[in-house]
Amino acid sequence: MKKTGFISHESFFWHNTGNGSLFLPPGGWVEPNIHAENPATKRRFKNLLELSGLYDQLEKISPRTATREELEYFHTSEYIDNIKELSDQTGGDAGELSLFGKGSFEIAKLATGGAITATDAVMNGDVDNVYALIRPCGHHAERDRGMGFCIFNHVAIAAKYAKKKYGLKRILIVDWDVHHGNGTEQAFYDDPDVLFVSLHQELNYPANSGLVEHTGEGKGEGYNINIPLPAGTGNAGYMHAFEQIIGPIAKEFKPELIYISAGQDASNYDPLGRMMVDAEGYYQLADFMKKLAEKHCDGKLIACHEGGYSADYVPFCSLRIVEAMSEINTPVEDPYKINTPATTYIVTEGQKKLVEDVIKVHSNYWSFGKMSV
């Protein structure tokens, strides 16, 4: 009987983003504090996973380091050389808001290798699906620069690896991080073999990115779908977008493999987002994606951890994702649920209008026939 795989490594927690405040380095009026992308959110998730008893029921998989050739599936040689040089010295900034310390080049390569290892495990049938708890995150990293805490784009490289090694022609990537997955979009903007869907808070980060009208180009036109949800969208609003857009398009696209860029920064308590998804909402999203994978690609599903900056709440959201993927419930209850706003469970007119706008734009490429998962 196949199981859910889990990938992690102690070195991921050793990636050093410095002692900045939120996303800024210290200096000037900024007093040293704790950088938003610090190890606590991921480490506390792994701790909760173990404490709940679920960790012992997962298939532990060791990541391997990505090769130079694999990094170059997406990133330029000059960019890779620059990261290595900085990492060998004292660290630096990979581009924009992507601080890292000495040694992070090797850690980032291992994180990319974790996504590739997950791909092999699922494609070879060793497990049904995999949750990869990797760090640093990756979906903002562009071809020749890091952005938004990201150095190498793990999911983009893993998807390109899957195309090359397994000859896949239909890969679906769903990015539910609260920030637009600009780097992954860049990687496949003209590629009809990869359908990229990004759900994110509108007008957040990066600026002028993730607009509905950005639909791809050339042969890839129509295969890039941006769903910029309004601030305050909660469980019901996200599920409405999944049911009305992702479900029908996946039915038509028929993916052979599905990746999730799993950022838990659309939660109620995240300091870098203004959405209202609770832990149960993340269970619903993951359950939807699991059923979608079972329907279209024999359950082949890989979730790679991206953002999420509430050290208190990310562990509970992430645990619920793994519960949905593994179909194993734990006795852990959401202690923060008592403060969840009622609007988390309501689809507002603004949210409906946004979904209608996306459907209108993409009806040029997809039929949006009704379906059930």
CATH number of the domain enclosing 97? 3.40.800.20
Beta-carbon contacts of residue 278 (< 8 Å; ≥ 6 apart)? 234, 235, 267, 268, 317, 334, 336, 337, 340, 344
Catalytic member of 35, 75, 139, 140: 140
Q: Which amino acid is it at 105?
A: F
Peptide bond into 32 cis (omega under 30): no
Residue found under tokens 């701790």: 47
> Does any domain span residue 135?
yes
Element (DSSP H or E) covering residue 229: strand 224-229
> Does any domain span residue 223?
yes
Task: State the pLDDT at residue 372.
Answer: 39
SS3 108: helix
Residue found under tokens 């990293």: 141
Q: Give the span between the Cα atoms of 29 and 255, in whole angstroms.
A: 50
Spell out, as residue ranges, where the chain has pLDDT lower than 50: 370-373
Question: Which value, in Å, is the radius of gyration of the alpha carbons in the chain?
Answer: 19
> Does any domain span residue 191?
yes
Beta-carbon contacts of residue 220 (< 8 Å; ≥ 6 apart)? 188, 189, 190, 191, 192
**Is the CB of residue 130 less than 8 Å from the CB of residue 260?**
no
Task: State the pLDDT at residue 163.
Answer: 98
pTM confidence score:
0.97
Q: How many folded domains does the chain comprise? A: 1
Phi, psi of 315 (to 5 degrees): -55, -40
SS3 60: strand
Supply 16's token pair.
Answer: 């050093």
**Is the CB of residue 30 less than 8 Å from the CB of residue 37?**
no
Task: State the pLDDT at residue 103.
Answer: 98
**Is the CB of residue 259 less than 8 Å from the CB of residue 304?**
yes
Task: State the pLDDT at residue 1.
Answer: 66
> Does any domain span residue 369?
no
Catalytic (active site) residue 200: no
Q: Which structural domain, as residue segments, surrounds residue 21?
A: 4-362
> Does any domain span residue 198?
yes
Q: Give the span between the Cα atoms of 174 and 259, in whole angstroms.
A: 6
Q: Which residues pair with 201 in a beta bridge?
A: 229
Parallel, antiparallel or unpaired: strands 4-7 and 129-132: parallel
Measured in whole angstroms, the distance separating CA 214 from the mean position of its chain's CA atoms is 19
> Does any domain span residue 126?
yes
Give per-residue pLDDT as tens, 112-171: 999 999 999 999 999 999 999 999 999 999 999 999 999 999 999 999 999 999 999 999
Q: Give the span between the Cα atoms of 241 and 285, in whole angstroms.
A: 10
Task: State the pLDDT at residue 369.
Answer: 59
**Is the CB of residue 126 less than 8 Å from the CB of residue 59?**
yes
> Does any domain span residue 92?
yes
Phi, psi of 313 (to 5 degrees): -105, -30
Task: State the pLDDT at residue 2.
Answer: 78
Residue found under tokens 């990066």: 206
Element (DSSP H or E) covering residue 261: strand 257-262
**Is the CB of residue 297 less than 8 Å from the CB of residue 256?**
yes
Phi, psi of 170 (to 5 degrees): -140, 95
- For residues 347-372, b (16+ Cβ closer than 10 Å) or e, as one string? bbeebeebbeebbebbeebbebeeee
> Does any domain span residue 370?
no
Supply 104's token pair.
Answer: 């992070």
Q: Give the span between the Cα atoms of 91 and 94, in whole angstroms.
A: 9
Beta-carbon contacts of residue 99 (< 8 Å; ≥ 6 apart)? 17, 18, 20, 25, 35, 91, 92, 93, 149
